[in-house]
Amino acid sequence: MTPPVPGTPAAPSILEPLALYGAAFAADPHGHYRKLRAQGPLARVRVAPDVDAMLVTDYHAAVDLLRDTETFTKDPRAWQAGVPADSPVLPVLGHRPTALFTDGAVHARYRDAINDTLALIEPHLLRAEVTRVAQRLIADFSATGTGDLIAQYARGLPLHVFTASFGVAPEDTERVVRGTAGMMDPAADATAAYDELVGVVTALVAERRRRPGRDLTTYLLAHPAGLDDDETVRQITLIMSTGHDPTTNLIGNALLRMLSDTGYGGSLHGGAMTAHEAVNDVLWRDPPLANMGAHFPRHDTEFHGVPLRAGQLVLVSFAAANTQSPPSFTDPAARSGDGAHLAWSTGPHRCPAKQPALLMAMTAIEQLTSQLCDLELAVEPDALVWRPGPFHRAPAHLPVRFTPLDSVPEPAGPGARQATDHVPTRVGGTPNG
């Protein structure tokens, strides 16, 4: 960033980058996007006290950037060299040997392994696993009549499903949950959290190398890409860390939409907004990953009329691009599918897990709203606090009340299911066979 010039007035001018990391942005992101759009297709923002970025808010510029592998690289190392080592954005943007931070053939190799592994997840078995986890989480608070749907439901659900899919031993599950959640928590030591996650997954990969199981870890090790142990560990931790927070936020944001929708009187009674409508609305208006898609110009360049320096951080605002009022946003007919919003990004690094993530979110919402069917918010929507941070859009808490339940359905069907039962039998065989 440019150091402040001594003697310059403290009052922010139009050229002072808007900060995306504080409470003001969390309280009104769309107000910030409006101001940024007024500056052009890209505008300078501050993502941490010492770190500036160019943020793309224009829809077409966003699509162009996300597909332009000639001009931009995903490798952050040149940029990272100038960022303080303790910067809070490094746990998210700092380099790791994974699909997210690589280009070309290296990326394709990791991406194929990830895609083929995720493709093994049988939808009906994933739905059964999410249902099992959901029922267990609901049972923990359903007798009380009150709860926080983020802390007690949405936050834990994706990770418990991932740990089962990858064959993490039940006694290690809490360490994975703690490690993954800690990476995105500004109050936690993110480096220690990531190290804890890597430690558990490293032991798991070594164990599966010795004794293959029926889980996604075993499959990833057997994939023709021939990933070594460390590469396997890094792709698993990528899947867990990249999958956990946005799925939590998709569930949380959609539940909030359903519980606060004024068209239905703010309750789930009588033909309320469906889970599908709520999820679709959130993906357009408040995508869980609001600003991401980190790219770095390979050389000095001009992009959509804006000069960019080699190696500088350029982020894409999926939220601003989605709400720029392209015809597809204002025309409900064109929005009815999942059409052209950018919530899953686009280009070679678009989310590879759209289908399982949607299925997890929908199942989680349906389970909750069908069991606690008179759920209502325990505070006014305006009183909700949003988690600060430049990357996500996420309510910090979702306090609710409901009629306490005496009991909930048994989580497991007849004969306790194995944690890995939702992985089909071809795992462990020849991956493409």
Task: Write out the residues near ligand HEM by the rule CB under 6 A.
Answer: 99-100, 111, 114, 238-239, 242-243, 246-247, 250, 283, 287-289, 292-294, 318, 343-345, 349, 351-353, 356-357, 360
In single-letter form, the type of residue at position 159 comes to L
Both structure tokens of 249: 């936020």
Q: What is the 8-class DSSP label of residue 395?
A: B
CB of 405 to ligand HEM, least distance (A): 28
Other CB atoms within 10 A of residue 157 CB:
25
DSSP per residue, 261-304? -GGGTTSSTTTPPPHHHHHHHHHHHS-SB-EEEEEEESSSEEET
Closer CB to ligand HEM, residue 126 or residue 400? Answer: 126
Closer CB to ligand HEM, residue 221 or residue 342? Answer: 342
CB of 323 to ligand HEM, least distance (A): 15
Closer CB to ligand HEM, residue 142 or residue 249? Answer: 249
Other CB atoms within 10 A of residue 4 CB:
9
β-strand pairing of 314-317 with 51-56: parallel
Q: Give 137's contacts (C-beta < 8 A, 6+ positions apart).
A: 152, 153, 156, 157, 160
3-state secondary structure (DSSP) of residue 349: coil
Tell me how many degrees the CA angle 390-393-395 measures, rounded to the nearest 5.
Answer: 120
What is the spatial distance between Cα 253 and Cα 221, in angstroms, rounded to a whole number? Answer: 35
CB of 354 to ligand HEM, least distance (A): 7
CB of 426 to ligand HEM, least distance (A): 20
CB of 316 to ligand HEM, least distance (A): 7
Closer CB to ligand HEM, residue 94 or residue 142? Answer: 94
Closer CB to ligand HEM, residue 168 or residue 343? Answer: 343
Rounded to a whole number, what is the distance in angstroms from the first to the last CA of the chain? 52
Residue 86, judged by CB atoms within 10 A of its CB (0-12, 13-18, 19+), counts as exposed
In order of 118, 371, 418, the CA distances from 414 in angstroms are 27, 20, 12
Query: To which H or E segment does residue 54 belong?
Result: strand 51-56
CB of 31 to ligand HEM, least distance (A): 22
Closer CB to ligand HEM, residue 142 or residue 363? Answer: 363
CB of 83 to ligand HEM, least distance (A): 17
Closer CB to ligand HEM, residue 156 or residue 293? Answer: 293
Closer CB to ligand HEM, residue 97 or residue 266? Answer: 97
CB of 307 to ligand HEM, least distance (A): 23
In order of 143, 267, 272, 369, the CA distances from 402 in angstroms are 10, 11, 16, 11
CB of 8 to ligand HEM, least distance (A): 34
Closer CB to ligand HEM, residue 252 or residue 408? Answer: 252
DSSP per residue, 107-176? HHHHHHHHHHHHHT--HHHHHHHHHHHHHHHHHTTTTTSEEETIIIIITTHHHHHHHHHHT--HHHHHHH
CB of 86 to ligand HEM, least distance (A): 22
3-state secondary structure (DSSP) of residue 189: coil
Closer CB to ligand HEM, residue 43 or residue 364? Answer: 364
